[in-house]
Structures are given as C-alpha cells and as structure tokens.
Structure 1
Amino acid sequence: MKTSPLLGFGFWVSVVGVMFSPRGFWGRHKRKILIGLGVVGGGYAIYRLWDSHQRNMLELDRQKEREKQEEELMKIQLKNHFESIQRISDTTTLPYAMHELRARILERLDLSELRDRLMQGKGQPGVLSPQERIELWGRLKILSFTRTVAALWAVTILSLYVRIQVNVLGRHLYLDIARTAEEQDNSDSLSSHGREEFLATADYLCTHGINMLLVNMQSAAMEVLKEKQLKDTFSIDQLRETITQILDLFMKSEGSTYWVSYLVPEDVSTYRKIMASSSSSYELTNLMDTSKLEELMSETRTILLRPDFGKVMNIAMEKAVELLIDEMSPEVSGTAPLALAKLLPRVSQMSIPLLAEPENNELISTLRRIPEIEVFYTLVYADLTLES
C-alpha cells in the first residue's frame, strides 16, 4: 500500500511547525534563555552597582577635597590669628610689662639714698653714729639681695606666664574658628580687643602684685641674711646657696600657692577696677565678654597651680640662678674670697641686666631655649598634662 504524497508533506510541515513554533522553541531553549537572561541581568546589575560605586567614590573624593580645602583655610586662619597673638605678646605685652616691672622694682628698691648717706658718713666723720652706720649697712644688705632676687623671680615667672597666655589663647582661637566653620557662625567671642585685654592681664604683676611680692621677698631675705655679717667672706657657692634659700623661703611665704595671686587677679571685676584706677591708659570700652575673660583667667590660674608647671618653674628658676651666678663668677671666684660688704654693690647691680628689655634680656632668651619648657607650652596648647 502506497503512502499519499500529501500525507508525507503534511508530516514534515507538522514537524517543522513544532520545531519553529514559539512554544516548541521555548520548551527546547528555556534553560539557555533563562541562563542568558540571568547573565545579562546580572551584568547589568553589576554595571549599575559599579556605576553607583564610582559615583559615590567621586562624590566622596569631592567631599574630601572640600574638607581638605576647609581644613587648610582653617589652618591658615589659625596661623594668622596665632601669629597675631604672638606678635602682640612679643612686641607689646611682654615689653610693656617688663618696662613697668623695671620701673616699679627700681623705684621701690632705690638704693642710691642709702649709698649716698654711707659715702657722706665715710667722707665726713661724725655725720653718722656707729649705730646709724650699722643700720644703713644692714638695710643695704637686705635691699641689695631683695632687689636682685625679686627681679630674677619676677622676670622668670613673667616670661613663663606670658607664653602660657599665648598658648591658652591660641587653643581657644582654634576651637572658636572650628566652631565658626562648623556652625557657619560669623560671631567672634575672641575679638582683637578681647585678645589684647586678656594678654594685658600680664600687667597685673607690675601694677598690683609687685607690691606684696617685694614685701614677702624682703622678709625672706631678712630671714636668710640675719646671721650673715658684712665682714663674712663669700664664695661663689655660698652666694648661690644664699640666693636659692631666699627663693625657697619666698615661695613658701603666705602658703605654697600664694605666689599665684601676684600674677592672676582674683576675678574680672576686681581686675578691671584695679587697672582703671592704676592706669590712665586703661579703657573700659571694647572689652572682652566678662564670662569669656573669666574663663581664660581661671584656666590660666589652674595651669599655674598644676604640678607639671611646678616642675617647669623649678627648672626655669634653677636656670635663672645658674645664669646669675655665671655672670658673677669671674668677680667672685677669680679672686680671694670677698667680704659680703664688698660683694653688695655687684649683687644689687645684677638686677639691671635681669630687668633689661626682652630683646636684650639674656635670661628671657635662655628660658625660651629650654626644651622642657617648650614641651610644656605644647601641652598647654593641646590641653594636656605633662606626665610625671
């Protein structure tokens, strides 16, 4: 029996239809299609993730660049502010304070009258009684040491104090600039007039604190020198020991921390009243906010009372005594031991270079080069404490 040609043709048509029909194609290639779509979809997703990551990285880089620029700008502003403070301190605050300190010490402890009376008594017998001569020489002995040791202590502590002021103010400026940048606030709690007023508190020692300082220094000198006679010979070591004893006793007078009151006023109100009454140039306009000035003064007082500052002050005082003794060594150690009476003119004369202007003051220059003191200033600026 033969098959009809039409039947054979229909068979192949049906086969081809099955092969190329959508359902047939999907059935045969479903897995491949799904895998292909998955690959394409995954690739697209990866591309989107990569593109998003690149955009985020680009934005992050831009943000970092903006932050870097803002940080650089803040550093420049801080540097300018700090240099301005340092310039005011070096050219105005310390020179003015030193000028006033020199005037007050030399005025309060003027030895010329004592010397003139002793010279008059020497040239004109009978002008002075033996008792008067003894009393005059005794006063000259006490006041000669008082003047020089007071000058040594005051210049040393004033130099340290002014540098502490600069670093305290510099740190507050940094915080103020950072706050202003963060809050976009243009207010300035540390205006130029305010900064100058805080730095000017260094004048308190010269205008007010110096009075009690000299009284207590004279008491210490009297106690240490009461057993030392004018005819006693002095070696350089004895001179160093005597000066050190006077300093130690002075620091303990009125209590171990009383000396801070020579430098820092009790409060802002009292300080402003004292300055207004003692200085015609003190202006009550354009002053710093009272609470801010109180904060700065309180912080400075706290630093002066810290144990690590006590160590720094001891280092500075030892260096000051060493410098003073080195200056006097050629005259004392290079000859036969001198009687105390012959040593007194040189002792009192040593107060003059100690009270010289800052640019010509060897003591101030020496203190600025002591590594331990420089480290302490850095810690003050960073608001840290020197470990023992």
Structure 2
Amino acid sequence: MNRYKIFLLTFLIHFVSQGQKFSTIKEISSSNFQTKINGKSTNLFTLKNKKGMTAQITNYGARVVSLWVPDRNGNFQDVVWGFETIAEYLASSDIYCGPIVGRFGNRIDKGKFKLNGTQYQLTINNNENHLHGGTDGFYSKVWDAKSVKIDGNEALELSYFSKDGEEGYPGNLTIKVTYILTEDNSLKLIYSATTDKTTIINPTSHCYFNLSGTSKNTILKHVLFINSEKFTPTNEGLIPTGELRNLKNTPLDFNIPTAIGDRIDSKYEQLLFGKGYDHNFIINKPMGSFEKIASIYSPESGVLMAVNSDQPGLQFYSGNFMKGNLKGKQGDDHNYRTGFALETQNFPDAPNHPNFPSAVLKPKQTYTQTTSYSFGIVK
C-alpha cells in the first residue's frame, strides 16, 4: 500500500471522535466587528455544528476570521490566521487574510486582457500586474449577509453587487458565496455569479491555514498531497508562460505526500521566482467534477484537512512574504512561513492564454464553484 493510500485510510478512520470531550473554544465577540464602512454595517457571524466545530465569518470581505477544529488530544485549535477586531483588519497591511478575492483571483499580466475585440485595462497593484481583483477588490467590500439553513446545516449567505467598470472589469456583476458548516466537520463554500455584460471571473477563498493552530510552529512540517501531474510555470514576475509542465522529478511534485519544508529551499528556478511555493497546480480530474484534490496534515496537532473542489486549478502558497510584523489572534505573530493557502481556482492569467480553461462569463450564464475544507484527525 502506497503512502497516499495509508494517508487517506488514517484520515477515514479518525475523521470524527464521537463522544470525546473537547476544550473550550475562544469565540470572538460579534461586537468586535460592528462598525460601518461606506455606510454599510459590518458584523461577525458564528456557525457551529453538533460536534463543536466552529466557524466565524465577517461580511467585511466575506472573510473567515476563525475556524476551530479538534486536534488528536481533543483540544480545539483555531487553524486560520486573522485578527480579533474589525479595526485590526482595516489597519492591517495583510489585506488577503481570509477573504474572498476577485473578481479575478491571482494575477493578470499587466492587468490587460481582450474580450470580443475590446482591450480592458485593470488596476495595477502587484508590481506591473493585477492581483486578486485590484486595489479595492472583493476583499475590501462589505457584503450583504443572511443567516440560513441548508439541508439542516448552519449556513451564511453573502452577496455583493460589483458595478460595471469597478477595478476596470466590464459588466454589472452579482456574486453570492454561501458558507455551510456541515455535521461531518466540513466548511463548504458555494459560489454563484451573473453579469449583464461579458466579463471574466475567478473568485477564490484566501484563508491562511496553520493546522497546528499557532505560529510557534511553521508550516514546514505539514505533510501535503496534491492530485496533480502538471503545473503552470511562471516568469520572474509570477505570470504564467503558457506552458503546462510535468511535475515529475521537480520539487513541486506532491503526488506522494511530502513535508512542505523538505524541498522548499531547492535551487529550482520556479521556487526561486516565488521565494518558495506560489504556484498553480493543474488538478488531475475531469473538468467540472467535484473531487478531493488535496490533503494536508500537521504532525504537531494531528489535524488533517482535505480539500474538495470542482475547479481545474489549485494555487499553493507557502507564506513566503510573511514578515512577522503583524500580531494576530491570541497574540500570535504572522511569521515567515507560518501560514499556507490552498486556493481553488481557474489558472492565473487565464484570459491571456487560449490553452487555459476559459474565465469568461456571459449574460444569461451563471458562474458556479463548489469547494469544501474537511477536517479529521491523524492519531
């Protein structure tokens, strides 16, 4: 039996510990997030299942603020980075801590693309490129929020209306993201969007995870599997070249579960460009099918997370630009390589590469995406 089969078998056996007594969760008070931004009210919403798993989400940027899951000792760990007040989010330089980013997550070369013969210029906010929706993207907006139940599960429905021309994007776009906390310890995200004019779209969740629950531990011992045989290499500015390159015999190959730190400092050009992992992996599955695409666990805590998605790509970012100058929840520092992101997505710069999956959304069409983060325990 290979290492990945053993990895999944362990996950299935210890997915839930029924009847176990868990430690107290330190929930953040909703009053910490009650303010107004551009005349719209912000708040913090709490979802909790019967096993005690708890997610706290703010409608400021539709971002995950905290996510409490049990470790192998029955203690709850908050496995996402963030802050304890809306004031800290507004003051922070880390604008991508936990939100939904878009309209187009990831990079677009020089912020330019063509649709139906018309060239569009997006805002430039990452050297000479456009990143994660621009200078005032979805992550900085106050979304409309509504608490709902879906199939008996606690859920939060968030919606935002993006006007024609916002950040340079064409079309009036309405996007909705619903967070669902299920009884099998999964946080599920269902996206939908419509437009009145042909546009592009590629939203994604930008949570920083540390499954040990503290920045005292880096993510370098986390063991990662990604179901991918190819990736999209980039130039020095982290813009895809258009090549679909095989992962075999490269330090980016995670088809066999491997500790993140084992090869992160290899003198491989792609790792040097990103100062570590910051790459889009082409998922090995039929287009549009909802499947398990990645798994990762922390040897320190025993917490395991499986990522399921219907998206063709997965951006793995290993926290290479964290500087340790920000203090988050419970006094933890956002230190170098103490958080990772697994962003389910279309390919970066897709509008400029005909061989990449299309990111075009037309009127009368509906964009959809489903992603889930499922948690278990490795004993």
- Answer yes or no: same fold by TM over 0.5: no
TM-score, with length taken from structure 2: 0.24
Asked which structure has the greater RCO (Cα within 8 Å, sep 6+), the reply is: 1
Higher strand content, 1 or 2? 2
TM-score, with length taken from structure 1: 0.23
Higher helix content, 1 or 2? 1
